[in-house]
Structure 1
Amino acid sequence: MNKGYVHVYTGNGKGKTTAAFGLALRAVCAGKKVFVGQFVKGMKYSETKVEKYISSIEIKQFGLDCFIYKEPTQEDIDMAKKGLGICRKKLQEDYDVVILDEINIALYFKLVSIDEVLELINSRKKNIELILTGRYAPKEIIEAADLVTEMKEIKHYYNIGVEARKGIES
């Protein structure tokens, strides 16, 4: 690829991370190399096992064992800052696709700043396709993107008590 584009997958509906991993699968099946940095997530979701099966995908998590529900801790902030530094380096390496999963949530909780993420977007190698996921994408990130998709919840079985199912939501 001569030019990589910036994608944002945001909104309150299910499917942002799933869409990003679908793109990752498509990319590796086309012979491309993918890095996924998962912000705010430390739980071992099913997709984190992909490295055992596909050597062209690398995943690093920059979160604790539980998602942030209240005020973030200093440890949450430190992990996100460390993750941003790692992602900055990956965006200068020989990856074709880099996914910053839940980076918009990290922004929402002020674990990282909009300026830091914009700098990361603008300083990447220009052939790298960059995907940013998570609810609450700020307008500055949306404006910096080339493609923005909003996942809108219309109906969700979670609302009738169905919990996350392994292989589908976790």
Structure 2
Amino acid sequence: MPKPESFPIENIFVPTKQKKALRPDTVAEIAESILDIGQQSPIFVWRDGDRLVLVEGLHRLEACKALGETTILGVLVSAELAQHKPQLAERPEVEAERLKMARLRQLRLEKEAAEAASAGSKRVSATDVSRTRPANGVRDNAKASASRIAKSKPKSLSDWITQQKGSGGRY
């Protein structure tokens, strides 16, 4: 396989048929991956006169564009190989890249879920702190009246009686 080289992004032409297959969510995931670990897999282009025509790697190309890159790693393939793109997609390196991206996506989702769970537990502890009385022993009247308003509409008579007993009120 030829060695990857750097190509100017502005010289790469993307056929209209390929542009229709663009998925913004995939571009965003690849852009995050490129920020974290760099571009791991080159795109494939072939030379058509003065321009380069994209054969494979639309989402990587768009991710680099979104990140403000001016160049991208790619491999120059012959026009004959460009016509046999399905064979190129079946190569083990390409499949390995797809699997790696799927693993990275899964790890990122797991990390986000763990962060969300951690943030949720922090919010609960912050809520518990806000429920405690201030050091000077004085209650915040705005908070007290807000809690009374929230409790003012019981759903049933038994809920109302329970609420009255809990607050020390008459029933």
- Structure showing greater radius of gyration is 2
Name whichever structure is richer in helix by fraction.
2
TM, length-normalised to structure 1: 0.24
TM-score scaled by length of structure 2: 0.24
